[in-house]
Amino acid sequence: MFAKILNLFPALQIKDYRIFWITQWIALIGFWLQLTAQQWLVYKLTDSAMLLGILSACQFAPSFLFTLGAGIWIDRHNKRKILMGTQFMYIIQAFLLGMLLWTGHETYYWLLFFAFFCGTIDAFDMPARLAFMPELVGQKALHSAISLNSANFNITRMFGPLLAAFLLSYLSYSSLFFLNALSLVPILYAYRHIHVNSPPYKGEKKHPFKELISGINLAKGNPIILSNLIAVGIVSGLILNVGTYGPLFADRVLHAGLNGFSSILFAIGTGSMISGIISAAAKKSLSQKMIFILAGMCGCIMMAVSYIHYFYLSLFIFAIQGACVILFLVNCNTVIQAASPKEYTGRIMGLYTFLFLGSAPFGSLFVSFILEILGTSLGLFVVGSLNTFLIALTAFQYYKKTLEK
């Protein structure tokens, strides 16, 4: 049985990846405990879509500010050691935030500060982790590893928020932050003992600005990399801000409160998990045409769910959205990495993170503004429509450039 599972998912045949995957699962449970508690705490403190959007903007703003430079730095240094450092910093921020709440200093401004602090760690952790994957599993198992990582993220997204809602009935908010800090210890230990040589690129070192420009020029000159990066930025900015619109939809449309919000995250996680597992077992990535279709469908599904007041029907549609988003992201990530030369991996993944996370602060502010002005249902319909239109425009430009070549 175990041998059949390994044959189905090539990345799991690699011992070091199995250790990473298991400890990542534990860390992600802690991540969802903290994120759910933090977003709900801010909503209860402020009762404002705009202030919730500002919190998300603070968390994702560092990715806009730092990831391009981080990509250059990652290419020059040992990625495994960078990841050890980021896990340690995640532990510090979770512990300090827990202490802050435990001592009764749960102000909105402190939460903004720690959201920015956590986002700064993300700006280095995500591109380093993405660039580390080919070194950990090799190119042949890369699609399987990316899909399994996605499945891991979304399995925990199913249970983490529900566990958070349950624990908050008995424990304080600070307890969930302390639990997150503890959950990160195993993956820090795993990075310390993974037997992967992750040397920095030994090529000619140019001025950082020139290296940054060379990475951007590579992306601009490759239609596959460019169009997928743009599509990631659009979907991330408009669709993936569940922390901005989820609490409002649960409370104002479904009238289900915290349990409704955690159920939405569970539904999205369920769809994402199923599509992630299917994708992990696939032998190759989807076509570029299918990637564009999936990205456009994310907006259409947002439009479909916006006016649905029936609890279980809305959860079913959110599950479909989760499946589409993960199929899009996994295949988008795979084709970008496959099209990137090894010596540019850190910079291209820095660009990916820049657009994936860096678009989020602007998206959070835009989405929260639209929801404040138009209301939750009409606002989500407009956001979904805009996503679909921009993806269609990106696809048109891609095929236009492809035909010109």
Annotated domain spans of the chain:
7-404
What is the sign, positive or negative, of the torsion defined by CA atoms of 372, 243, 327, 315? Answer: negative
Q: What's the gap between Cα 397 and its chain centre?
A: 26
- Residue 186, pLDDT score: 95
Q: Which burial class, exposed, middle or buried, applies to 63 when counting CB atoms under 10 A from its CB (0-12, 13-18, 19+)?
A: buried
- Residue 276, pLDDT score: 79
Residue with tokens 């502010």: 365
Write down the pTM of the prediction. 0.74
Nearest to 77 by CA among 138, 123, 132: 132
| Regions in the chain scoring below 70 on pLDDT | 1-8, 197-209, 283, 404-405
Q: Which fold has domain 7-404?
A: Growth Hormone; Chain: A; (1.20.1250)
- Residue 358, pLDDT score: 73
**Angle in degrees, 0-180, between the axes of helices 359-374 and 376-404, rounded to the nearest 10:** 140
- Residue 400, pLDDT score: 84
Residue with tokens 């279709």: 293
- Residue 48, pLDDT score: 76
